[in-house]
Structure 1
């Protein structure tokens, strides 16, 4: 079993990466230079495994056997402790030029244990324009043993100057059968639950695991998919919008509370709060207040991003529901991701036209655009729910 065996439904991409890792190792062993592309762009729909593919490639580059999956090198990469692999995860809504310049400086160092110094940049599309320009310079003239692995939903999400200097690895949406098999064999999920989770998440491996293993996640999805049936008047539309926004805020609070507390406690320790002894006091030393303010800003930005992502996922679940309504209206023989809501799908299909369904989908997509433009979430979602209730208004 190799590191690439964990990639669900990505056999073609895995084969490309395996060949590249082997070619690089052979070139170095033969003294013919690096023999490696120094910048790679991993693209694919959400949940396809962009980060997992990049991490597997990093392990293959550093492993003596090109990703055996059981040596110390592979293990260190998988747990995030390998000194030659740095993984960058933007915490806020964007990644600044200051952060990028610091990253480029760290990338200039030589590898300490392996053949390469690997910089794995998740969500590289969140880099600001200035940050992308700073990253471009590092990709154009990288140190001889540094490899950049960038992850983004599609090539078009990266500026063309970066995209043109990267070798693109395109991942596809895994099939329902592939994800269900993964859940059964790796997580001991019952077959029926595995099939439900795989179908409901439309090829998103991470969400499928959470849906199969966490009852609270299933409850939240059920609440979102019951929303169309509850829209019977303006008051109900306002209430439904409030519930959606509130649930997103609660998800963000749940995801960040413990992490924020740990980060704050650690920073206070670094700046000496509570220290005793001659010349020390129990407050933060000089510079501590500024560092604490920077941390609070970062935590606030992260919470905003998580809240936005949670709300966006709820909207995508609604899009899937209305897409299934449209399939029922046309009698299409396709897999329905919301098959478990068959009664609601049939009722809405009978009581509305395909044109109404398309207008509802447009209303949801418009809401997503407004949220991305920083429109007040409550206002944007209220406008959407009213359009879902009366699509012809």
Structure 2
């Protein structure tokens, strides 16, 4: 199995990266772009493995295995659980970039979520990209080229990933997860091409149930009370899911901190423990906030898919709906709404998303406002 095996529906990208790994068209700085779930980080890591491999990505050698596992000495990945990547993290990476690789090939530095770099972090990164050492390769990942500073993206070779088709995702799930064709088809459509989301839907019934609850909301927003209840429930459910994801990690980090300062063994707290604990709690709080926003954001995209289905059905577009399983609800929305209203509803969802992600509006407030805007018009048939 080659390192490219998990890049779903990206044949042109694989060809270009394999060619570069073989020494044709190589560059010292790369920018991987693509919609969420398209696999831009996976593509960067696969490319890093190919650069470290004597056979340009065989998938079997020690270099490939360690790179894909995240333990290769010459491959560094910076990712953040916070809302932004700060200058200190980037400066540490820049210092690492100046070192010669341990092995005979490349020093590879991958920045996931490069769109989250602060202005000072971008400035620190720019000089390193402008003047790389001979055996250093930078790989940045972002949703679009516009999400990266102009002076940085102009110095990078662009790799654009696309959203894989539902058929490609379904085939991937059948091959790698061993799920039934019907479940793979559902997960592929419901994920809208997001590989990680498709895997979660295929593997976990609770994830499927949570999504079904979200996509059932539009048809139930018939009264002001229903809208307020929907906003409250969505806030609570997404918070619970986010807490479940971060809770175990938080506890493990706290235990590691206690152990490193000898709190467990000696039963007392050294002077240096308090500021370390404060810093950890601050980082965990930032991570929890981002995780909650990520879960809410995913739910908002599920809501958008329902109104897009309504637009597709009203327009007579061919093909299956994303939410084929609730076709009755989608038909009801078409009967009760105009195409223009459903377009406005999609815009209102994106407005709520922007309020939370960019303007720090509290999640409950943004969701309440959005749900009221999405309410079924008075006098519509139920």
Give the TM interval when normalised to the shorter protein: over 0.9
Q: Which residue pairs with 2:119 in the alignment? A: 129
| Correspondent of 1:386 among 356, 372, 375 | 372
Alignment of 1:146-165 (within 5 A): 146-165=136-155
Name the residue aligned to 1:238. Answer: 228
CA deviations 1:71-103 (Å, max 9, x no partner) are 111111111111111111111000111221122
**Aligned counterparts of 1:260 and 1:305: Cα–Cα separation in 2:** 14
Taking structure 2 as the reference length, what is the TM-score of the superposition?
Answer: 0.96
Preserved contact between residue 359 and residue 391 of structure 1 (Cα < 8 Å): no
Cα distance in 1 for partners of 2:108, 2:146 equals 23
**Contact between 1:44 and 1:152, CA under 8 Å: does it hold in 2?**
yes
Aligned length: 377
What residue is the counterpart of 2:280 in the other structure?
295
Partner SS, residue 159 of structure 2: strand
State the partner residue of 1:166.
Answer: 156
Is contact 2:85–2:117 with CA below 8 Å preserved after alignment?
A: yes
Tell me the CA shift for residue 114 of structure 1.
4.1
> Residue 31 of structure 1 aligns with which residue?
none
Runs of 4+ that moved beyond 3 A: none
The 3 A distance-change label for structure 1 pair 36 and 354 is: closer
The CA deviation string for residues 205-246 of structure 1, in whole angstroms up to 9 with x for no partner, is: 111111111101101101101111221211111110001111
Residue 349 (structure 1) aligned to one of 320, 334, 339: 334
1:37/1:147 contact within 8 Å kept: yes
**In structure 1, C-alpha distance between the alignment counterparts of 2:73 and 2:255, rounded to whole Å:** 25
> Structure 1 residue 115: deviation in Å?
0.4
Distance 2:344 2:9 in 1: 34
Query: Distance between the aligned counterparts of 1:55 and 1:91, measured in 2?
Result: 19
Structure-2 separation of matches of 1:51 and 1:182: 18
| TM-score between both structures, scaled by the size of structure 1 | 0.93
Higher mean C-alpha displacement, 206-215 vs 263-272: 263-272
Task: Determine which of 46, 59, 78 is the counterpart of 2:68.
Answer: 78
Measure, in 2, the Cα distance between the counterparts of 1:374 and 1:258. Answer: 26
What SS is found at the alignment partner of 1:4? coil
1:1-393 aligned at under 5 Å gives the runs 1-23=1-23, 36-276=26-266, 282-372=267-357, 373-390=359-376
Q: Do 1:84 and 1:114's aligned partners in 2 also have CA atoms closer than 8 Å?
A: no
Q: 1:90 and 1:114, CA in 2 relative to 1: closer, same or farther beyond 3 A? A: farther
Between the aligned partners of 1:298 and 1:52, the Cα distance in structure 2 is 25
Deviations 1:262-287 (A, max 9, x none): 111112222222344xxxxx323232
